[in-house]
């Protein structure tokens, strides 16, 4: 706007303010255009980054799918080589070595072995223990002789039974006292040689094999009752029945051996307690013993699964071969209308 000298001062100030306002509006609009341009640039860059990332992921997925399609079925079922597989193999081999071939790492002295023999002899051949056991057996026999039905209301049993009960209770307390003394002697004898001696290693192995046998017997009993209650319950093919029973046997043995492993872990704790081992020694021995036990259980279950898979594959192959041979033999037979007599009407064909 042109400013003339003959115009009043108020008009000149208004024109200047309007010019300044228009300049500020243009500056604000220019700044907003720049901000929008920057936002648009950032958005386009982010979209390009997302497309690149999605393309890389799709390429990785395509490579994984192509590798999976190219991998044979047997290879895909096997574990892939890696640190986890190597660690598991090393642990498994160490456990089997500790269970079967490892010797006791500690050899006690002659004095310790002689003290062990002496304390064990005192614990086993204790006169007090034998006397307490005989008294308990005699008190139990006398109590059973007078313990009849409704003895509280029958004479003279209402007087004899309380007296025999008191004698039996005293005999039980005496026997428990002798048993605690015997257990203390046994624990002291075991502590004199140490849990890492041949005595501790042999006892740990013996307890594991007892638990292992108990687990197998438990699985056999479960299988027996499954057979008893499952005969004649379904109408199915023979190979299907065999496969079903094979899977049931595998499940029973798996449950039985896992239960045996848990039972051995519990008894092993008390074995370490009986030998009075230190904290570090006891934890280390417990870990080694559990490693050997779990390696043996894993070996048995893994071998059983491989044998079951092989047997199932063989049974399925035989069933398929029989089906194919039957279908081939039926394909060479003449059609049904040619076998019927010519006197039958066509509506019955």
First-to-last C-alpha distance (Å) of the chain? 111
Gap between the Cα atoms of 331 and 335, Å rounded: 9
**DSSP states of 328-348:** HHHHTSPPHHHHS-TTS-GGG
Gap between the Cα atoms of 85 and 342, Å rounded: 73
Answer whether residue 207 is part of any domain. Answer: yes
Answer whether residue 132 is part of any domain. Answer: yes
Average pLDDT over residues 2-25: 66
Relative orientation angle of helices 198-230 and 279-331, to the nearest 10 degrees:
30
Shared domain check, 300 and 155: no
The alpha carbon dihedral of 77, 83, 84, 87 has a sign of positive
The number of angstroms, rounded, from the C-alpha of 4 to the middle of its chain's C-alpha atoms is 100
**DSSP states of 214-240:** HHHHHHHHHHHHHHHHHTT-----HHH
Shared domain check, 94 and 201: yes
Sequence-distant (≥ 6) Cβ neighbours of residue 99 within 8 angstroms: 205, 208, 292, 293, 295, 296
Answer whether residue 24 is part of any domain. Answer: no
Q: What angle do CA 211, 217, 221 make, to 5 degrees?
A: 145
The number of angstroms, rounded, from the C-alpha of 325 to the middle of its chain's C-alpha atoms is 43
Shared domain check, 238 and 99: yes
More confident residue, 334 or 268: 268
Which of 139, 169, 193 finishes a domain?
A: 193
> Buried b / exposed e across 176-211, counting CB within 10 Å, b at 16+?
eebeebbeebbbbbbbbbbbbbbbbbebbbebbeeb
Nearest to 212 by CA among 288, 297, 272, 289: 297
Q: Is the peptide bond before 156 cis (omega within 30 degrees of 0)?
A: yes
Answer whether residue 121 is part of any domain. Answer: yes
Q: Determine phi and psi for 108, rounding to 5 degrees.
A: -70, 160
Shared domain check, 208 and 287: yes
For residue 117, how many other CB atoms are within 10 A of its CB? 13
pLDDT computed for residue 66 by the predictor: 55
Both tokens of residue 17?
């303010």
Answer whether residue 260 is part of any domain. Answer: yes
Q: What is the mean pLDDT of the chain?
A: 81
Shared domain check, 209 and 302: yes
Shared domain check, 200 and 94: yes
The alpha carbon dihedral of 158, 164, 167, 173 has a sign of negative
Q: How many domains does one find in the chain?
A: 2
Average pLDDT over residues 32-47: 75
Q: Are 189 and 115 in contact (CB under 8 A)?
A: yes
Residue span of the structural domain in which 218 resides = 83-106+194-326
Answer whether residue 341 is part of any domain. Answer: no
pLDDT band at residue 275 using 50, 70 and 90 as cut-offs: very high
Q: Which residue has the tokens 């243009």?
A: 26
Gap between the Cα atoms of 46 and 42, Å rounded: 6
pLDDT digits (tens, 9 = 90+) for 131-190: 999 999 999 999 999 998 988 898 888 899 999 999 999 999 999 999 999 999 999 999
Query: Does 3 have pLDDT greater than 90?
Result: no
Which of 147, 169, 193 finishes a domain?
A: 193
- Looking from the CA of 9 toward its CB, the CA atoms found within 13 Å total 0
pLDDT computed for residue 188 by the predictor: 94
More confident residue, 31 or 193: 193
pLDDT computed for residue 289 by the predictor: 96
Gap between the Cα atoms of 245 and 243, Å rounded: 5
Average pLDDT over residues 202-218: 96
Q: Are 243 and 312 in contact (CB under 8 A)?
A: yes
Gap between the Cα atoms of 234 and 217, Å rounded: 27
More confident residue, 300 or 348: 300
Which of 193, 209, 232 finishes a domain?
A: 193
Shared domain check, 296 and 210: yes
Answer whether residue 165 is part of any domain. Answer: yes
Average pLDDT over residues 97-124: 92
Gap between the Cα atoms of 261 and 266, Å rounded: 9
Report the SS3 class of residue 117.
helix
Answer whether residue 317 is part of any domain. Answer: yes
Gap between the Cα atoms of 57 and 65, Å rounded: 12
Shared domain check, 299 and 269: yes
Both tokens of residue 66?
């192509």
Query: Does 336 have pLDDT greater than 60?
Result: no
pLDDT computed for residue 265 by the predictor: 96
pLDDT computed for residue 136 by the predictor: 94
Shared domain check, 279 and 248: yes
Shared domain check, 152 and 123: yes
Shared domain check, 206 and 175: no
Shared domain check, 322 and 259: yes
Poorest-confidence range of 29-38, 40-49, 186-195? Answer: 40-49
């Amino acid at each position: 706007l042109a400013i003339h000298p003959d115009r009043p001062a108020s008009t000149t100030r208004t024109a200047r303010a309007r010019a300044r306002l228009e300049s500020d509006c243009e500056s604000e609009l220019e700044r907003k255009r720049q901000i929008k341009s920057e936002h648009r640039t950032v958005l386009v860059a982010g979209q390009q980054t997302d497309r690149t990332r999605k393309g890389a992921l799709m390429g990785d997925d395509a490579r994984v799918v192509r590798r999976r399609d190219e991998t044979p079925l047997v290879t895909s079922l096997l574990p892939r080589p890696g640190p986890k597989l190597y660690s598991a193999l090393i642990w498994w081999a160490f456990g089997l070595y500790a269970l079967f071939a490892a010797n006791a790492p500690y050899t006690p002295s002659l004095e310790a072995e002689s003290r062990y023999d002496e304390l064990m002899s005192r614990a086993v051949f204790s006169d007090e223990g034998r006397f307490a056991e005989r008294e308990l057996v005699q008190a139990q026999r006398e109590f059973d002789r007078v313990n009849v039905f409704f003895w509280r209301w029958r004479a003279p049993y209402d007087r004899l039974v309380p007296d025999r009960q008191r004698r039996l209770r005293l005999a039980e307390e005496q026997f428990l006292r002798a048993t605690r003394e015997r257990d203390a002697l046994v624990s002291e004898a075991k502590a004199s040689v140490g849990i890492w001696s041949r005595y501790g290693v042999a006892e740990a192995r013996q307890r594991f094999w007892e638990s292992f046998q108990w687990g197998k017997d438990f699985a056999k009993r479960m299988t027996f009752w499954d057979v008893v209650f499952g005969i004649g319950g379904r109408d199915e093919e023979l190979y299907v029945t065999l496969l079903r029973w094979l899977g049931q046997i595998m499940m029973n043995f798996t449950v039985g051996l896992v239960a045996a492993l848990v039972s051995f872990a519990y008894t092993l704790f008390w074995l370490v307690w009986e030998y009075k081992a230190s904290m570090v020694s006891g934890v280390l021995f417990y870990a080694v013993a559990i490693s050997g036990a779990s390696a043996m259980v894993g070996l048995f279950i893994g071998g059983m699964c491989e044998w079951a898979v092989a047997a199932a594959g063989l049974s399925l192959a035989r069933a398929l071969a029989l089906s194919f041979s039957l279908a081939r033999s039926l394909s060479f037979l003449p059609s049904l209308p040619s076998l019927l007599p010519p006197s039958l009407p066509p509506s019955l064909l």
